[in-house]
Every structure is written in structure tokens, then in C-alpha cells.
Structure 1
Amino acid sequence: MKAMFAALMLMMSTLGFAQSEIYTGYFSSKAVGGYDTVAYFTQGKPVKGSSDYKTEFKGANWYFASQANLDLFKQDPDKYAPQYGGYCAWAVSAKNDFAKGDPEHWSIVDGKLYLNYNQNIKDKWSQDIPGHIAQGDKNWPTLIAK
């Protein structure tokens, strides 16, 4: 059942739906589900952020676990923000489409953070990371322009 739901979510077309450049979900304004994007780089793991340390960037609210992480993000948000706006890296590259990125299924490649929909999808993405990044980088500008 989970596999069918995942496949359905990945196959949903972007036609008729305006997509934000940053994935926040339908009923939220939290980027990366409220996780601290700096912590992936400094602690090597997903860490929930706090409303005590938040900022706005590209129309979304970004949460951090500490003032130090918030300050690092504010100095260079593009360094810490996930690629493809936090949407699933595999969906952007392989399907040229949007799907939610899950903060628990992540990778840092060449100093950039990538999220994937779930572990199964991350495993698919991991089979050809350089190829998926090249294709995702090609697809992303046209996806967000729709």
C-alpha cells in the first residue's frame, strides 16, 4: 500500500498546480518540515528546528535548533538550503516533476543537501547520483518556471 501511494505521489502531474520554489507541504509554511538545514552540515544528521530561531527565505519559514545555526543560514542561505527547494531530488531528475522531500531521507553531495521522498526512492537516486544531479540541474529551472 505504501509503495502504491508513493508511486501515485510521484506520478502526480504538475499541470494545473502552481508550485512554490520551496517545498512546504499544503498546510504549512515550514521549509524542510521545520528541520534545521544547517545541522545536516554541522551535526551530520536531521535535527528539528525551533520557532525560537526562525527566518523567512524565498517565501518559506526556516527553523533552526540554535541561534548559531540561524546566523550561519542568514550569512549564506543558498549554501544550506536543500537543492531543488527541498523537493525530492529523484523526482526532479528522473521524472521532471515535483514530489515532497522527506528530511529523514537525505544526502550531502559536493557540499549540497538533497532530499528524497523515502528510502526506496533515495536508493534509486543513489544508483547514479552524478547523473541524477546533472539531469535535476537541467530540469529544475523549467519546473519552477511553470
Structure 2
Amino acid sequence: MPTRRTALLMVSAAILGGALGSFGALAQIKAVAQTPVRVGLKGYDPVAYFTLSTPTLGVAQYQYVYDGVLYRFANAHHRDLFKANPEKYAPQFGGSCAMNMAGGVRREADPTIWIISNGNLYVFAGTGGQTRFRDDTAAAGRATDNWKRLKETPSQ
């Protein structure tokens, strides 16, 4: 027959175990709720555009979720640079085509077609959009305005 103290310890352990289980379930729900919708830049490392001047595929070992998008990096150093300043390295318009965004349409971009302008990374659906964006000095402003309206819409 357990003593009163042993019984009290058993009840306390059961209550604590139940509470911890609830917290564990809550953590799982929160993790699911924060699961990114997509892999940004089709898996290309956003920091590599700035540091290596070339699109470079990232690896799953080095990844980070920012603004609901999972980004992959070529190495831990790139991931850490991004984590320290994601606004500097994240592609504009969530990685959507900048020229299409300037025209009011959210379209998935090809991350191998890109430019850095005014310290920002822009990606495009095609080389024609890249050229037009370079020539149209007002395109970035229009795209920024349209992004406010189109951010929550799916890409075409």
C-alpha cells in the first residue's frame, strides 16, 4: 500500500505529465501552423546572388523560414548572414517576377534570371522582363505598390 507521500508524488507526476503532453501537442500545432507554403527561389540560395554573383542551389541541411517561405542556403555562413538581415537578402516580392508584379500580376519567377538593383534582389519569369525592368526606372515602384495588394494571392 503506497504511503500518502508516494500517492501524492504519483498524482503530481501524472498531472505534470499531462501538462507536458499538452504543451508538446501545442508545440506540434504551432509548428504545423508555421509550415512554409513553399520553397523560395526554387531552392536557390538568396545570399549567393550577393556574395558569389551567381545563382547557387542551396541544400536542405542549411535552411531558414522567413515570412512564411523556406529558403535554402549553400552553407551555414550564408544561412547565418540571411538570418541576421533577411530584408537585405530576401528576393523582392516574395520571389515573384518583378516585371509581372510591375504590371499587376503575380507570376512565379525563374531564379536563374535575376538582377541586383539598389541593393535589392529581383527575379524574373524571362529575360525579356529582366531587360524591360532595367530600362523602366518606374517599374520597381509600381511593383512595390502592386505587391501590397497581391502579396496574399497565389502565383500564376
TM-score normalized with structure 1 length: 0.76
Question: 1:1-146 counterparts in 2 under 5 A?
Answer: 29-93=38-102, 95-128=103-136, 130-144=137-151
Number of residue pairs the alignment of both structures matches: 118
**Matches of 1:145 and 1:65, distance apart in 2:** 28
**Matches of 1:144 and 1:47, distance apart in 2:** 25
Over the matched positions of the two proteins, sequence identity in percent amounts to 33
C-alpha RMSD of matched pairs (Å): 1.6
Structure 2 unaligned runs (5+)? Answer: 1-35
**Matches of 1:97 and 1:62, distance apart in 2:** 23
Runs of 4+ in 1 over 4 A off after TM superposition: none
Structure 1 unaligned runs (5+)? Answer: 1-23
Structure (1 or 2) with the greater helix fraction? 2
Per-residue deviation, residues 42-98 of structure 1 (Å, max 9, x unmatched): 0111000011101111222110001000000000111100001100000010x2011
Q: Which has the larger radius of gyration?
A: 2
Q: Is the 8 A contact 2:93 2:151 kept in 1?
A: no
TM-score normalized with structure 2 length: 0.71
- Which structure carries more relative contact order (alpha carbon 8 Å, separation 6+)? 1
**Matches of 1:116 and 1:61, distance apart in 2:** 19
Per-residue deviation, residues 82-126 of structure 1 (Å, max 9, x unmatched): 001100000010x20111111110000010000000112212222
